[in-house]
Structure 1
Amino acid sequence: MNVQPTNIEIREQSTVLALTWPDCGTRLLEAETLRRASRAASEIRRQIDGIELVIPPGLHVSAVEPIGNHALRLSFSDGHDRGIYPWSYLRELAGQH
């Protein structure tokens, strides 16, 4: 299912991404959850190498960029900006399959 959200907001001092879906309402995702869930190649390599991700205090979403009609690129206050999050993956992270 590739349902696109009808609204995307950054809330709570940029620590929460709010996505409103036409079929299940608004779901909130914490910046830390999103950062840990990044599928960027550098993050997958870090995980394979067993290097723990250290989340800095006050981590927040610093930018949201649409990627066509299928995904978002999120940038974080720790400098990570390579993660692309397809709509289906964001729904999975929010517990809405």
Structure 2
Amino acid sequence: MTQPPLRLRNAARDGWLILEWADGAVSRIDHARLRAACPCAQCRAQRLRGRIVAAEQGVRLRDIRLQGYGVQLLFDDGHERGIYPWSYLRDEL
């Protein structure tokens, strides 16, 4: 199991989620990329059907809720269903 990052920061103005890991690695993930890669059941089902989950380039992360094994990300387009496991944020994005 991937450990939580040492530091988690929403650089909202620039549209980045920044995670600093214990091994010194830093993940810098664009808000639109996070929204398009949402792991919720609805978004995953659309991707499995070959549909592209559209995320506007200007979409912004408005809140982060810690969930133990990851984070729930709330976007300004109203989407808030996905919980992003630490391993997904570290290894997949």
Question: Matched residues in 1 for 2:57 and 2:21: separation?
Answer: 30
Tell me the secondary structure at the aligned position of residue 90 of structure 1: helix
Q: How does 1:43-82 map to 2 (within 5 A)?
A: 43-68=43-68, 70-82=69-81
Deviation per residue, 1:35-73 (Å, 9 max, x gap): 1111101101222333332222411111100002x1100
Identical-pair percentage:
30
Question: Matched residues in 1 for 2:17 and 2:33: separation?
Answer: 10
Query: In structure 2, do the counterparts of structure 1 residues 12 and 82 end up closer, same or farther at CA, with 3 Å as the change threshold?
Result: closer
Contact preservation (8 Å) 1:14, 1:60? no
Tell me the secondary structure at the aligned position of residue 34 of structure 2: helix
Q: CA deviation at 1:29?
A: 0.6
Q: CA deviation at 1:12?
A: 4.7
Alpha-carbon RMSD across the aligned residues, in angstroms, is 1.7
After TM superposition, the score normalised by the length of structure 1 is 0.83
> Which residue number in structure 2 is paired with residue 93 of structure 1?
92
Contact preservation (8 Å) 1:10, 1:17? yes
> Which residue number in structure 2 is paired with residue 33 of structure 1?
33
After TM superposition, the score normalised by the length of structure 2 is 0.86
How many residues align structurally?
Answer: 93
> Which residue number in structure 2 is paired with residue 16 of structure 1?
16
Segments of structure 1 that go 5 or more residues without pairing to the other structure are: none
Contact preservation (8 Å) 1:16, 1:29? yes
Q: 4+ residue runs of structure 1 moved beyond 6 angstroms?
A: none
